[in-house]
Structure 1
Amino acid sequence: MKDSEQRLDGSSIGEACPVDQRILRPVRVRNDWPRTAPEGDAVRRIAVVDTETTGLSAERHTVIELCMAIVQVNDAGRIVAVEVVRSGLIDPGRPLTAEIVDLTGLTDQDLAGRSIDEDQVAAMLASCEGVVAYNAGFDRPFVEKMIDRHVAVPWGCAMADVPWRKLGFEPGPQGYAVMQAGYYMPSAHRAKDDVLALVQLLDHVCDDGETVMAKTLAAMDAPAWRFEAQGAPYGYKENLREQRYRWAWGRLHDLWHKHVRAEAYQAELDWYVSTIGKEPVIVPLPASERYRFHTAWTPA
């Protein structure tokens, strides 16, 4: 048989190709979760949050839908109960773009006259020992803008705080991570659907025996720092950008900055000194201050 009659995997034309199959199960619905943990279980109360917005900029756009689930997490990092799920719509005061209508399924008529009690949202956040969003750097600025206050509760980010590649995942959007964990979202881009999908993902047990929630909370509890590139010459901006520093525009000082975790601290410091020629300004970054919008904090 000629080479041209063989497949790239070595099988001959007419032979069945080896196929790996994976069965995806639907994300659990609200009623599939207990309301309370088993009696005697020590638990942490964690808020799981998702927002739908009129756009990507926390400065120019606003929340149109918020969902928050308060879950109970045991010492093993398993979600043993979902106490409550609350969601609400907000009238942004101007028409939605066609793109947002298509993305969320919401219309101007759905939002007309709708609002959320900001004090109730703030109280729910404050009642928890932590908050988790899939992309906390997106959701936290929008939530704090919506409630017009800073609630000093620790935040964790399932997307940034979890070492996905080391766990055998390919990083990407939440829906892609959910599929890799063996589930699918019957619907998406409504806040409640996304929150229930995130709860499912957080409860997923990875190959090393730990849940995604356990890893997110461990990162929340661990120290972190903000490296501030104060006074870095303009000519190094591309170096900083490639090293994933972010630009804090609108500050009193021109400032590139980066959230640095403990395991990357020394390597990041070594890179900065060897590239920029001096040490950065290093500021401790407790979880209660992480993922805030850059105009909400002051450079050291």
Structure 2
Amino acid sequence: MTPMQEQPGLWLQNDLLGLAAPEPAAATAPEATPAQAPASPPVPSAPQAPQTPIEPPRPVPISLPACAGRPQRTLPRGPESLLILDTETTGLSTLQGQCIEVGAILFHVPHRAVLTQVSFLLPCPANAAEAINGIPAAVTRLEQPRQEALACFLAMAAACDALVAHNAAFDRQWFGLGPLPSLDRPWICSMEDIRWPAERQLRSSPSVRDLALAYGVPVWAAHRALTDCIYLAQVFERCDDLEALLLGALEPRSLYRAELPYAERHRAREAGFRWNEAVPRAWSRRLSRREAEGLPFPVQLVADPIPADGLAHSA
């Protein structure tokens, strides 16, 4: 550390001012005698400029050395904008039907605010799921600005950091087919990937209705694309820990099998494992490594029959 230069005291200031003061006039010479030559006439002295007061020197600023050996901590950054989306279809898979409606909401995470929302229909010749989604096939073929709505959806998708859907594995399969574009953002499943707080008393894979009611969101309709998006957006508005939930949802996940005897199978069910689904005749679930290590029973990592690019939480 550079030592601070000592400031002059009062005595030093007075001494400096004394040096700046004009010298006293010389003594008068004795009167010349007649034998002496007359003295030369005195030369008038030039007027002196006024003396500028001397300022004391300013203290030298102190510079602290940088703390060495302590790396800067970088906090993980979650998505700031989400595209919450939902689809309505005529069947359960792309082999059985087609997508006939898309709803989407562009949601800003830090402000917990809806920025833009859109919903549009895609024409279909028939709708075998009309009893479920309530969309007559004839309505999908009515004149409407679907191209403009699709352009709005594309702009919203380009502005988001991540995509959110409830049961994202189902909704994701329709994009990249027909008029719907492929989406190159990370997917988050609000049913499988987000670990909702235990105090909400939800099942490990809650429905949209149960999730909305757990957060005090009124359920007033069902099975239209934009309606389910509104429910999710209003749930997110009420989440104080939304950033942490989203970061946890984006962790890489692998397929694990529960290693429990038959008599304790209820423990696997309570932890969200499913019987005979991804792994034949076994309780299995996709978990992050952190989640697998935190389970109260042993698990075994197994080969995932679904490729990594087909998982709902991967990009």
Q: TM-score range by the shorter chain?
A: 0.5 to 0.7
Amino acid at match of 2:88: E
List runs of 5+ in structure 2 lacking aligned partners: 1-77, 258-272
- Whichever residue aligns with residue 86 of structure 2, its letter is D
Q: 1:169 aligns with which of 178, 201, 205?
A: 201
Change beyond 3 A, Cα 1:157–1:146: farther
Which SS does the other structure have where 2:228 is aligned? helix
Aligned to 1:197, which of 224, 231, 242?
231
**Alignment match, 1:86:** 118
The answer (yes or no) to whether the contact 2:221–2:227 under 8 Å persists in 1 is yes
Counterpart code for 2:132? L
State the Cα distance separating 1:258 from its structure 2 match. 5.8
- Percent sequence identity over matched residues? 21
Q: Distance in 1 between matches of 2:200 and 2:79?
A: 28
Q: Which residue of 2 aligns with 1:96?
A: 127
Query: How many angstroms apart in 2 are the aligned matches of 1:263 and 1:198?
Result: 26
| CA positional deviation for 1:268 | 11
Measured in 1, the distance between the counterparts of 2:236 and 2:106 equals 13
**Shift of residue 167 of structure 1?**
3.2
Look at both structures and tell me which one has the larger radius of gyration over its CA atoms: 2
Q: C-alpha offsets along residues 92-116 of structure 1, whole Å, 9 cap, x if unaligned?
A: 23x112xx22322211221115684
Give 2:278's aligned amino acid.
Y
User: 2: distance between equivalents of 1:88 and 1:260?
Assistant: 35
**Number of aligned residue pairs:** 214
Q: Deviations over 1:125-181 (max 9, x none)?
A: 233100111221211112343556532211111111233462332233211221121
**Does the 8 Å contact 2:118/2:152 carry over to 1?**
no
Give distance in 1, aligned partners of 2:173 and 2:287: 19
1:263 aligns with 2:290: yes
Cα pair 1:141 1:292 within 8 Å, conserved: no
Q: C-alpha root-mean-square deviation of aligned residues, in Å?
A: 3.8
Look up the SS of the partner of 2:193 in the other structure: coil
Query: Which residue is equivalent to 2:168?
Result: 136
- Which residue in the other structure is 2:221 paired with? 187
Alpha-carbon separation, structure 1, partners of 2:157 and 2:221: 26
Amino acid at match of 1:291: A
Rounded Cα–Cα distance in structure 2 between residues aligned with 1:169 and 1:269: 21
Q: Is the 8 A contact 2:187 2:313 kept in 1?
A: no
Tell me by how many angstroms 1:119 deviates: 6.4
Please report how far the alpha carbon of residue 200 of structure 1 lies from its aligned counterpart in structure 2 after TM superposition: 0.5
Kindly indicate which of the two structures has a greater share of residues assigned to strand. 1
In structure 2, C-alpha distance between the alignment counterparts of 1:246 and 1:187, rounded to whole Å: 35
AA at the equivalent of 1:55: G
Structure 1: segments with no counterpart, 5+ residues = 1-41, 229-239, 248-256, 273-278
- Render the CA deviation track for 1:236-267: whole Å, top value 9, x for unaligned: xxxx97275268xxxxxxxxx96332333446
CA distance in structure 2 between the partners assigned to 1:264 and 1:43 by the alignment = 21
Amino acid in structure 2 at the alignment position of 1:71: F
In structure 2, the residue matched to 1:54 is: 90
Q: Is the 8 A contact 1:175 1:184 kept in 2?
A: no
The aligned runs of 1:239-254 (5 Å cut-off) are 242=275, 244-245=277-278
TM-score (norm: length of structure 2): 0.56
Alpha carbons of 1:244 and 1:114: their partners in 2 closer, same or farther (altered >3 Å)?
Answer: farther
Richer in helix (by share): 1
Contact 1:156 1:216 in 2 (8 A): no
**Are residues 1:45 and 2:77 paired?**
no
3-state SS in 1 of match to 2:103: strand
- Displacement of 1:68: 0.8
Work out whether 1:291 is the aligned partner of 2:312: yes
Contact 1:154 1:220 in 2 (8 A): no
Shift of 1:223: 2.9
